[in-house]
Structure 1
C-alpha cells in the first residue's frame, strides 16, 4: 500500500521541518515503483521507505542541506552493479531509480493537507511535477474529480490531463509526454485508503484488523456484542460499530470499493448479514468457514462471483494469526488487481 496516508498524517501532526522524497522514474527493477514516497524529518526520524535500505541513508544525509537552502533536487541511484567482494555495500537490485527531494515549506504543507482532505473524503487526487534542466522541481500541482487545481504550477495547465483523468487513461505512474507540453512530466494518482469491513469481533478478528491497518487499510469492525467489539481489542481500527447486522450495515454505506469479511461464527447472524449484503453491489465479500456452510447461508440462491468462500488464499492456515495472513493476502491481491484495471478518477 502507499505510504502517502501515513506521510500526510505526519505532516499534519508534526511541527518539524521535513523533506518529501518521491520516486519519479525507474529503469529496470527496483524495490518500490514510481509514486512511492517517503518523508525525512529534521530530527532524523522518517516515515515510509523507498528501498530495502539501499538509498535511505544517502537521502537522509542530504536533508540538512536541503532544509537550509530550501531547494529541491532529483537524485539518481544506479543499483545495477553488483560486486561480490563489496560485502553487501552495493545493492545489485538491477535498476536505476530517480528520486525527487522537496523541502516541505509552509505552502507545500498546506497543499499536502488539502490532498489529505480529499483522500479522507474518498476522492482520488492526481499529482504532477515538472522539472528544470538542472534537475530541480520547477512546479507541482494536484487536482481531484472536481478539477480544482492547487499547487505551485507555472503557466497554462494542460487540459489534456483533466481529460486523461476523467477517461481513466492516465495509466501507470511515472514520466509522461503530453502533446500540449514540450517536456515530460511526472504523473501519479493518490488513492484513498481502501476500507476493510469486518463483521464479527471474535478472537480471530483481532489479528486481521491489526494486520490490515498496518498494511494501509481503513478498518471497521462491527459486532452486536459490546464486550467483544471493544477498543482494547481493536486499537488500530478506525471505527467500531456495536449493533445488530441490520443496524450496522445501514450505518456503513457500503460500496463496491469496500472489502467485506464476515466472521461472526454465528450462523443466524451470518445469514442475516448475507441477506443484507446481497442487496448491495459489492466488489469483494469473504466468508469464513467451509463452502458448504456458505451454500447454506445463501439458502439455495446462486453464490455471486465476488464472494470468496472459504475466504483467504489456501496456505493451510491454522490459528487466528495465520488465518489473518491468508485473508489479508487475498484482499490485497484483489485490491491490487482492481487498481491495475482502473488508473483514473
Structure 2
C-alpha cells in the first residue's frame, strides 16, 4: 500500500515523536476500506488518514493512547453488522466486520532503509511474526532481493519461499499460520507512488499534473520547450525533462508498470510515441484525441483494445479541468483494479 510510503515520509519529518499505525488486517462483508488500509496516530493527538467514514476513528484514538503507553501491539475488532446499543453498526449500512492491528511506530534506521528502497521504485514486503512478546519480530524484504531488518529469519527457506510467492501475487495482505509450524505471520505489500509519464507540457496538462500528485502518482513531464516545461507551470511535478520524446525514450528505460499519457498536440510526435509504446506495453497507455485520429496515427496497425483512446472516463468533459478529472479517474481505476480481484482478499493458510 502507498499509504505506508506516505506515512514514512511523515515519520521522517517527526523523528522525535512516537506514533501508532493502525492497519486493517481483515474484512468480513463490506466496509469503508479494505485490507491494508492504514491510519497514523501521534502522541500529540494528530491523525493522518481514515479507516472508516468517521465511525471508528474516535475509538481508535483511545486505543492508540493505550498502545503508546504499553508499547505493545493490539488487535481491535469492530462488528458493523450489529445495530443495537452495544454494537458498532450505528446504522452506517457497512454490514461488515473489521479487524485492525495497532502497532507502536517511531522513526529509526530500519524505516529509513525501507523508505530508501521504496523511493528507488522497489516493492517491499513487510513480514510480521505475531507471536508472544519474546518471539515477536518485524522484517522487510525488498523486491531487489535484499533482506532488511531481522537477520535471524534470513536463512528460513520456507519463509523466503512464501515471501517470493507473495511478491509474485497481486495480494495486498496475507496471513500465514504455519511457516514454522507454530507462529502466526502477516505479510504486507508496500509500494511507492506509481510513475506517470506525461508527454506534453501544454496548459491543459497543468491541472492533470496537480491532481495526479494529489492522488499519489509521481508525475514526470517530458517536453522539449523550456518555456513550457518549467516549474512555474508544474510545481507539483516530480521531474521536468526538457527533451524531445524520442530522445527521452532512447536514453531511459520506462518500467513496464508505468502509466503513460500522451498529450503533445503534435501528430508526428504522437505517432512516434504510440508506435513505441504499442510494442513496449506499459501498465497504462492513453492518448488525447478522438479514436479516428488514433486510427490514423497507428495505420496500418489496428488500435489495440487495451489502449485508452479517447483517454479518460466518459463524463462528457469539457475544458482542461474536467478532462484532467476524467483522466485521473481512469488512472485510479486501473491502479485499483487488482484490489477488487478475489485473490486480493486476506488468505488464511495452514500450508507451509
TM over 0.5: yes
Q: Name 2:296's counterpart in structure 1.
A: 296
The correspondence of residues 172-183 of structure 1 with structure 2, limited to 5 A, is 173-183=173-183
Q: Give distance in 2, aligned partners of 1:177 and 1:258.
A: 34
Superposed CA deviations along residues 76-121 of structure 1, whole A, max 9, x for unmatched, are 222222359x9x9564422222222222245xx3322222111112
Q: Name 1:125's counterpart in structure 2.
A: 124
Q: Name 2:33's counterpart in structure 1.
A: 32
Which stretches of structure 1, 4 residues or longer, exceed 4 Å deviation after superposition? Answer: 152-158, 338-343
Distance 1:336 1:26, change over 3 A: same
Q: Name 1:209's counterpart in structure 2.
A: 209
Distance 1:92 1:290, change over 3 A: closer
Distance 1:150 1:283, change over 3 A: closer
Secondary structure at the residue paired with 1:237? coil
**Which residues of structure 2 form unaligned runs of 5+?**
345-352
Q: TM-score, normalised by structure 1?
A: 0.86
Secondary structure at the residue paired with 2:188? strand
Q: What is the deviation of 1:334?
A: 2.3
Secondary structure at the residue paired with 2:136? strand
Q: Name 1:8's counterpart in structure 2.
A: 8
Q: What is the deviation of 1:261?
A: 0.6
Contact 2:114 2:148 in 1 (8 A): no
Q: Give distance in 2, aligned partners of 1:157 and 1:25.
A: 29
Distance 1:139 1:213, change over 3 A: same
Q: Give distance in 1, aligned partners of 2:343 and 2:222.
A: 29
Q: TM-score, normalised by structure 2?
A: 0.84
Q: What is the deviation of 1:28?
A: 2.0
When structure 1 is superposed on structure 2, of 124-133 and 93-102 the one drifting more is 124-133
Q: Give distance in 2, aligned partners of 1:47 and 1:314.
A: 33
Number of residues of Structure 1 aligned to a counterpart in Structure 2? 338
Q: Give distance in 1, aligned partners of 2:116 and 2:225.
A: 33
When structure 1 is superposed on structure 2, of 221-230 and 170-179 the one drifting more is 170-179
Q: Name 1:331's counterpart in structure 2.
A: 331
Superposed CA deviations along residues 248-295 of structure 1, whole A, max 9, x for unmatched, are 323442121111010122223322333444453433210100011112
Q: Give distance in 1, aligned partners of 2:210 and 2:12.
A: 23
Q: Name 1:20's counterpart in structure 2.
A: 21
